[in-house]
Amino acid sequence: MFEAPVQRLIDELARLPGIGRKSAQRLAFHLLHIEEADAVRLGSSIIDLRREVRLCSRCFNVTSDEECSICRDLRRDPTVLCVVERAQDIPVIEGTQEFSGRYHVLGGAISPIEGIGPDQLRMRELVARIDQEGVAEVIAATNPTVEGDATALYLARLLKPLGVRVTQLASGLPVGGDLDYADEVTLGRALVGRQEL
């Protein structure tokens, strides 16, 4: 193997998502040749991330304060909650500029096969917010996977009895795409979810 400090870095890098053994080696040897100032900046930005960033106490978005900027924004509509699997889904939905409510990050999706049930997600925190914030509608913006769908179904089962309207993102064809390139599963769902004109 390599000298201990090199090997240690390779091992650490290889634990990152999407980085295999080969890529970790390539990155480590690249880092071996960068300026010391660059190395310090990279190292401290990782440490700062851990020190300064935490989860919003209300919605579990990432923030450097007690609450995230969306939760603190008084112009946002507190009666509509968009429920997402991960915090990184929030900027994607924000990018649409179509949503003006607040968010709730579950921290994953229900996956029976992996043994991930509602108890491992932030469901209890969600239920607590319904009353506290006067939530009238919950939008399930989970991934269009078996797990994401199961999570949306569970949200409906959990929240409808509380008088909350539960909706799910429509799923269908990618805008700008060609119908004959669509797969049957996607097209089938687009058909089921068709809209009156």
Partner 1 sequence: MAIRHDQGIVLRSYPFGESHRVIVLLSPNNGKLRTVAKGVRKTKSRFGGRLETFCLVDLVLYEGRNLDTITQVSLLDAFSNIRTDLDKVVAAATMVEVADAVAQEHESAIRLFLLLRRGLESLDRRDLHPDLVTAFLLKSADVVGVAPQLDSCAGCGATEGLTRFSFGAGGVLCDRCRTPGAYALREGLTAYLARVAAADIAELPAPDRSFSGEAMGVARRFIEYHLEKKLESLAVLDG
182 binds, among Zn ion, partner 1, none (CB under 5 to 8 A by kind): partner 1
- Which residues are registered as beta bridge partners of 139? 82, 167
Choosing among Zn ion, partner 1, none, which partner's interface includes residue 58 (Cβ < 5 to 8 Å by kind)? Zn ion
Residue 183 interacts with partner 1 (CB under 8 A): yes or no:
yes
Q: Which stretch binds partner 1 (CB under 8 A): 5-13, 57-65, 88-96, 117-125?
A: 117-125
Are the C-beta atoms of 105 and 84 separated by less than 8 Å?
yes
Residues 68-87: x where in contact with partner 1 by CB under 8 A, - otherwise, as a string: --------------------
Total chain residues near partner 1 (CB under 8 A)? 30
Extract the tokens encoding 94. Answer: 């924000």
Q: Which residue in 83, 106, 110, 130 binds partner 1 (CB under 8 A)?
A: 110
**What's the sign of the alpha-carbon dihedral 44, 46, 50, 52?**
positive
- x/- site string to partner 1, residues 140 to 169, per CB under 8 A? ----xxx--xx--xx--x------------
- As a whole number of angstroms, the distance between CA 192 and CA 23 comes to 43
Cα separation values, 163 from 67, 101, 106, 110, 158, Å: 27, 18, 20, 23, 10
| Closest distance of CB 19 from partner 1, Å | 9
Is 174 among the residues that bind partner 1 (CB under 8 A)? Answer: yes
Residues that bind partner 1 (CB under 8 A): 17-18, 20, 110, 112-119, 144-146, 149-150, 153-154, 157, 174, 177, 181-186, 188-189
